[in-house]
Amino acid sequence: MTRKDALATVLLGPDPKLRRMVAYWAATGVLYGVCTALILVATDFGLVDRAGAYALTSYSFTGVLVFMALVRFSAVLGIAPRTLAVLQGLFAISCNMWVYTIAGPLREASLIMLLVVVAFCTFAMRPRQTLLLSAAGIAAMGATMWWHAAHDPAHYPPLVEGLTFGFASAGLFAITLLTGEMNKLRARLKRQKEDLLAAVATIRTLATVDELTSLANRRHMNEVLAAEERRQAHGHAACIALLDIDFFKTINDRFGHAHGDAVLRAFAQAAQGALRGSDMLARWGGEEFLLMLPNADLPEAQQVLARIAAKVVALEVPGLELDCALSFSAGVTARAGGEPFADTINRADKALYRAKAEGRNRVVAA
Ligand SMILES: Nc1nc2c(ncn2[C@@H]2O[C@H](COP(=O)(O)OP(=O)(O)OP(=O)(O)O)[C@@H](O)[C@H]2O)c(=O)[nH]1
């Protein structure tokens, strides 16, 4: 970890979601800073009461810092992001009403920020919470305007305050509905993305895994072999073996197809259990399996096949009483130089044919 990463982890936290929340709040802090700067500029021109502006600056600055700490340590403190968003929204409304109180002729302009508060919080809140926050904003605005109109009608004419309240409330309400719709759209897109990812995962499984045995299927094995050919263009020790269960048709005929399937599954599991970590077994078709043993010479491959044979001979499949133990025949060969795997498989196939011809239940090397 670089020093920059370590510093970022200390400041922003290790969790990407938390980091995003901290970054959002930092951006909000900048917005608070911009608004405060505008208020301070307005005080220089005598538009805003200086003492009130300074008090508001202290209040908002302290609030931003406190919320930054709450966001950063929200996981430790056990504060849910939604709860934090509600508190942040209420704090922002209180700041906004304070600005309205001291901003003199700029007070209507300051109400625009109330829309930003609702739009911002909607990302972290449930639709009902956003609606309640919006209602709280409208209530706070109504109460502030009513108080000023009642106590200082010369500067806050009741009619102007009432109409301003109407415009601002309608705007706030519309923004709440619009952001609600946007949120529904986001949720739908998120669901569609999840469905799509699940579908891609299913397709990938279907394309690479044999449904019956859960081994790699032929298509996937061919891809792996092609990749191996590209990786080891000049050839490298690798062996290929073709394994074929003996007298499988008889098992099907005697015990039925379902039992035949159970044998295929049991065989695959037993064989898989005898492999080295780098070996790969695939269902090549029917009751035939292809084994790829990278970085193995012929004696090593024969050892692996002997281990498989030992496991297969001990196999017991429920409901299957065979006259003799289950067995398989195999042809095994080493990849010669940089030859295509198709040629290696061809040789293994011929060796398998010989194993069958010579009486089955054996491994023939080519
Ligand atoms: N149950 C089941 N049977 C299958 C499946 N795929 C192929 N088979 C059967 O496997 C049998 C293979 O028969 P054969 O090729 O004559 O082979 P065998 O009886 O094992 O004879 P040898 O290989 O010469 O020992 C056929 O009866 C196929 O119908 C499958 O997925 N499930």
Q: pLDDT tens-digit profile of 58-92? A: 999 999 999 999 998 888 899 998 899 999 999 99
Query: 131-156: string of b/e by CB count within 10 Å (b at 16+)?
Result: bebbeebbebbeebbeebbeeeeeeb
The answer on 263 and 147 residing in a single domain is no
Ligand 1 contact via 260 beta carbon (within 6 Å): yes
Ligand 1 contact via 212 beta carbon (within 6 Å): yes
Report how far ligand 1's centroid is from the alpha carbon of 304 (Å).
24
| Residue 260 Cα: closest atom of ligand 1 | 1
Mutate which of 245, 248, 267 for ligand 1 pocket (most atoms within 8 A of beta carbon): 248
**Active site (catalytic) residues:** 287
Q: What is the mean pLDDT of the chain?
A: 92
Give the closest residue (by CA) to ligand 1 atom 10: 249
Whole-number pLDDT of residue 235? 62
Whole-number pLDDT of residue 93? 96
Rounded mean pLDDT of 205-223? 96
Residue 208 belongs to some domain of the structure = no
Its pTM stands at 0.64
**Could you give the ipTM of this predicted complex?**
0.97
Q: pLDDT tens-digit profile of 8-42? A: 777 777 788 888 888 889 999 999 999 999 999 99
Q: Which residues contact 147 (CB under 8 A, 6 or more apart)?
A: none
Ligand 1 contact via 353 beta carbon (within 6 Å): no
Q: Which of 338, 280, 335 is nearest to 304 (CA)?
A: 280
The answer on 240 and 97 residing in a single domain is no
Report how far ligand 1's centroid is from the alpha carbon of 127 (Å).
60
Ligand 1 contact via 244 beta carbon (within 6 Å): yes
The answer on 179 and 252 residing in a single domain is no
Among 168, 200, 232, the domain boundary falls at: 200
Rounded mean pLDDT of 239-263? 95
Q: pLDDT tens-digit profile of 298-339? A: 999 999 999 999 999 999 888 877 777 899 999 999 998 889
Which of 7-21, 174-188, 269-283, 338-352 has the weakest average pLDDT?
7-21
Q: Domain residues for 35?
A: 3-200
The answer on 104 and 36 residing in a single domain is yes
The total number of structural domains that make up the chain: 2
Whole-number pLDDT of residue 234? 67
Report how far ligand 1's centroid is from the alpha carbon of 209 (Å).
20
* Rounded Cα–Cα distance for residues 361 and 329 (Å): 5
**CATH (domain of 246):** 3.30.70.270
Whole-number pLDDT of residue 1? 67
What DSSP string runs through 169-224? HHHHHHHHHHHHHHHHHHHHHHHHHHHHHHHHHHHHHHHHB-TTT-SB-HHHHHHH
Rounded mean pLDDT of 35-61? 94
* Rounded Cα–Cα distance for residues 187 and 232 (Å): 47
Rounded mean pLDDT of 209-219? 96
Q: Which pair of tokens denotes residue 216?
A: 């790699």
The answer on 228 and 184 residing in a single domain is no
Whole-number pLDDT of residue 15? 83
Work out whether the CA dihedral 40, 41, 44, 49 comes out positive or negative.
negative
Ligand 1 contact via 287 beta carbon (within 6 Å): yes
Whole-number pLDDT of residue 233? 65
